[in-house]
Amino acid sequence: MSLSDLRQRLLLALQEYLDAVASQKTPNPPDLLPHCVLLEELETKFSSQLDPRLAHFLESKSYRKAHDYLTSLSTSKLANAKDSAQSCTR
């Protein structure tokens, strides 16, 4: 699995977990256990391939921070892409 595929997989798992957490006050809240198990499995299996900061967030169960960190990586890469660079004519 490539690093970008791993990041996308983690980002999706984190988003699903956070959505489930946000739904806990609804009449039939989703079970959080499968989400936690999946995140722990991903962290255990791929920790050596992860950025140390991201690995720390996952190990500490700081899933919101991990999600925000991955999201910031995605948006900063888009903002710094060569294709999106514009030059000033002045």
pLDDT tens track for 26-47: 999 999 999 999 999 999 999 8
| Number of domains, the chain | 1
Answer yes or no: is 40 within a domain: yes
pTM, entire model? 0.80
Residue 70 structure tokens? 């991955």
Instruction: Look up the domain containing 71 and give its range.
Output: 3-75
Q: For residue 55, with 0-12 CB atoms within 10 Å meaning exposed, 13-18 middle and 19 or more buried, which class applies? A: middle
Give the type of residue at 67: H
Strand, helix or coil for residue 61: coil
Give 85 or 65, the one with higher predicted confidence: 65
Give the type of residue at 4: S
Answer yes or no: is 88 within a domain: no
Supply the DSSP symbol for 26.
Answer: S
